[in-house]
Amino acid sequence: MTGIDESALTKGQLRKLRALRKSVGDDVGERAFAAWLEARRKVAADVDGNATKIVDVLWPLVEEGRLAIPRGGYLLRRGRGRIIVEAARS
């Protein structure tokens, strides 16, 4: 009946698939879900280059134990001729 591997889906994706099946029927719902999932994968493939550079620079420090990033993380923003690092607030 299904061409979608439900065991590989997240909880939210399963909810969306079931809701689509219930609202428009199994066949149309699965086609709509497959199209939605493909569109999400294309968006996820677009990676922020700046974020990648930051990770590449900081990750070796984290692995060496010289840098600890607490839960919640930090916010980076530009200042006048400098970078401002602030603790992120929840």
Q: What is the pLDDT of residue 45?
A: 65
CB-CB contact of 24 with 17 (8 Å)? no
Q: What is the pLDDT of residue 28?
A: 94
In angstroms, the CA 59 to CA 65 distance is: 10
pTM score above 0.85: no
Report domain extents, the chain: 6-45, 49-87
**Residue 59 in 3-state DSSP?**
helix
Q: How confident is the model at residue 90 (pLDDT cuts 50, 70, 90)?
A: low
Furthest C-alpha separation in the chain: 60
Report residue 25: phi and psi, to 5°: 100, 160
Q: How confident is the model at residue 87 (pLDDT cuts 50, 70, 90)?
A: confident
